[in-house]
Amino acid sequence: MEKREFGYSFSLGRKIETRHRSFSSEEELNRFLKNESPLYISYSVGYFKFPGATPMENKVLLGSDLVFEFDADEVGLYSERDVWVCKNCGEVGFGHVERCPKCGSPVETKLFPDKEREERLKEMVDTLVKDFLVGDLGISPSEVSVNFSGNRGYHVHITSTAYRSLDKEARIEIVEYITGQALNPSYLFGDPTPCGKGIVIPCVRGPSPSMRGWPGRIARAVLEVLEKRDVDVLLGAGVERKQAEVIVKNAPLYTSLIRRGLWPAPRIFPLTSWIDIARNMAPTAGHTIDTNTSVDIHRLIRLPDSVHGGTGLVAKRVKNLASFDPYRDAVVLPSREITVHVRIAPEFEFGGRTFGPFRDEEVQLPLYVAYYLIGRGVAEWSWTSNE
Ligand SMILES: [Zn+2]
């Protein structure tokens, strides 16, 4: 910690007001947190010789943790429980919209607890850790830690010292591998070969489902799509309608071929399209990893085990991801009740209880829920009450 730069803020919604701070001991950091109580505190993924120095180049970078960030809204996981707020005219509503239906201005989306979304997000994190980091890259599970971000997602930290010295280019390569951006058909598919007796279509040699890494992943993803025999699934995976119909018609034949590492191609179906299907199905595909976070070695990220000022939840280190429920396990504020005026909130579960829906009303709520709603910007302290 004495080699890290810290940043913090006392203003709701602004995560970093002051940065370039450093602390020489845990004691000093704890004293600062107790005395000053910032709403947010973040630390650098980078290690520096002089973490408090400015500008950046005077800090002298020694190395940097590799961190992957998964935020529910950035990976496109929206819910009808979410609330949008127009920054311009103040209109509010449920669900996800790009622009305010009343005035056309961009809106801010406030995410609310949603069990289904939580599970989906955890699956994505689990796949990243088990399949890619541990499975493909061979990182030891003991060197991967998963932290709840305190708000909308998770941070996956690789603490292995072997990764600290990687420069930006190397980190981009890792992200490209994980997101499948740089898959080259010529590495995955080989020479044309007969498909077998009585089969007239041409084949090429390619990955089979039991193979490690992306080759096996592509084969398994395509087999999964073929099994559904559904044109719409193929359309959703980016295949053109005409080709999708041919594929569905021939699904049993293609399935038996691909299981043996023989791919009907390329006259029938471009090899890159098979790759696109697999890539679109991978939980780590494309936009689902925040590339900037992963490759930016100067980035500040939420301090694990600190309270997130926008939610009142702790950015906890997660020991068992499968059973982790942030709205139960990361709650720390007291449960004594206070009165708040809630502008809008869906029905949601928090701390094992169900709350809402609320619309322009005074409500008595446990402090941890009241704080969460105030942090979302959908509730205000009721000054009419005596609390
Ligand atoms: Zn508006």
Give tens-digit pLDDT for 100-146.
Answer: 999 999 999 999 999 999 998 898 899 889 988 999 999 999 999 99
**Residue 109 Cα, ligand 1 centroid: separation in angstroms?**
13
Q: How confident is the model at residue 194 (pLDDT cuts 50, 70, 90)?
A: confident
Spatial separation of the C-alpha atoms in residues 355 and 348, rounded to whole Å: 5
- Tally of CB atoms within 10 A around 81: 22
Give tens-digit pLDDT for 305-325.
Answer: 999 999 999 999 999 999 999
Residues near 171 by beta carbon (within 8 Å), at least 6 away in sequence: 66, 294, 295, 297
Give tens-digit pLDDT for 278-309.
Answer: 777 665 554 456 666 677 878 899 999 999 99
pLDDT, residue 324, reads 96
pLDDT, residue 374, reads 94
**Residue 344 Cα, ligand 1 centroid: separation in angstroms?**
15
**Residue 14 Cα, ligand 1 centroid: separation in angstroms?**
22
**Residue 1 Cα, ligand 1 centroid: separation in angstroms?**
44
CATH of domain 6-70+144-180+286-321: 3.90.920.10
**Residue 376 Cα, ligand 1 centroid: separation in angstroms?**
18
Q: Helix (H) and strand (E) counts for the chain?
A: 12, 21
- Tally of CB atoms within 10 A around 294: 22
Give tens-digit pLDDT for 60-83.
Answer: 999 999 998 888 877 778 889 999
Burial class of residue 226 (count of CB atoms within 10 Å of its CB; 0-12, 13-18, 19+): buried
Q: Is the peptide bond before 55 cis (omega within 30 degrees of 0)?
A: yes
Percent helix, strand, coil in the chain, to 5, is: 35, 25, 40
**Residue 339 Cα, ligand 1 centroid: separation in angstroms?**
28
**At which residue do the structure tokens 């650098």 appear?**
44
| φ/ψ of residue 308, rounded to 5 | -85, 120
Q: Which of 78-92, 221-235, 351-365 has the lowest mean pLDDT?
A: 221-235
Both tokens of 380, joined, read 């205000």
**Residue 374 Cα, ligand 1 centroid: separation in angstroms?**
20
Residue 384 clears pLDDT 60, i.e. is over it: no
Spatial separation of the C-alpha atoms in residues 25 and 18, rounded to whole Å: 19
Would you list the domain boundaries of the chain?
6-70+144-180+286-321, 185-281, 333-387
**Residue 355 Cα, ligand 1 centroid: separation in angstroms?**
27
Q: How confident is the model at residue 195 (pLDDT cuts 50, 70, 90)?
A: confident
**Residue 341 Cα, ligand 1 centroid: separation in angstroms?**
21
pLDDT, residue 192, reads 84
> pTM for this structure?
0.84
Identity of the amino acid at 355: F
pLDDT, residue 383, reads 67
**Residue 369 Cα, ligand 1 centroid: separation in angstroms?**
27
- Give the 3-state secondary structure of residue 218: helix
- Give the 3-state secondary structure of residue 239: coil
- Average pLDDT of the residues of the chain: 88
Residue 188 clears pLDDT 80, i.e. is over it: yes
**Residue 17 Cα, ligand 1 centroid: separation in angstroms?**
28
pLDDT, residue 300, reads 92
Residues near 31 by beta carbon (within 8 Å), at least 6 away in sequence: none
- Give the 3-state secondary structure of residue 314: strand
Q: Using CA of residue 301, residue 305, residue 311, residue 313, what is the dihedral sign? A: positive
**Residue 270 Cα, ligand 1 centroid: separation in angstroms?**
46
Residue 376 clears pLDDT 70, i.e. is over it: yes
pLDDT, residue 147, reads 96
Give tens-digit pLDDT for 157-186.
Answer: 998 888 999 988 898 888 888 888 778 888
Give tens-digit pLDDT for 41-55.
Answer: 999 999 999 999 999
Give tens-digit pLDDT for 256-267.
Answer: 999 999 988 756
- Give the 3-state secondary structure of residue 295: helix
46 and 12 in contact (C-beta within 8 Å)?
no
Spatial separation of the C-alpha atoms in residues 3 and 49, rounded to whole Å: 6
**Residue 80 Cα, ligand 1 centroid: separation in angstroms?**
19
pLDDT, residue 172, reads 87
Spatial separation of the C-alpha atoms in residues 347 and 82, rounded to whole Å: 10
Both tokens of 252, joined, read 């049993």
Segment 15-36 mean pLDDT: 95
Nearest by Cα to 363 from 384, 342, 381: 342
**Residue 106 Cα, ligand 1 centroid: separation in angstroms?**
8
Q: Is the peptide bond before 283 cis (omega within 30 degrees of 0)?
A: no
Identity of the amino acid at 118: E
94 and 293 in contact (C-beta within 8 Å)?
no
Residue ranges in 40-148 assigned as alpha helix (H): 115-127
**Residue 85 Cα, ligand 1 centroid: separation in angstroms?**
8
- Give the 3-state secondary structure of residue 41: strand
Residue 386 clears pLDDT 70, i.e. is over it: no
pLDDT, residue 10, reads 95
What's the fold here for domain 333-387?
A: Ribosomal Protein L9; domain 1 (3.40.5)
Q: What is the DSSP string of 248-290?
A: HHTHHHHHHHHHTTEEE-SSSS-HHHHHHHHHHHSTT-GGGS-
pLDDT, residue 278, reads 74
Spatial separation of the C-alpha atoms in residues 293 and 301, rounded to whole Å: 9
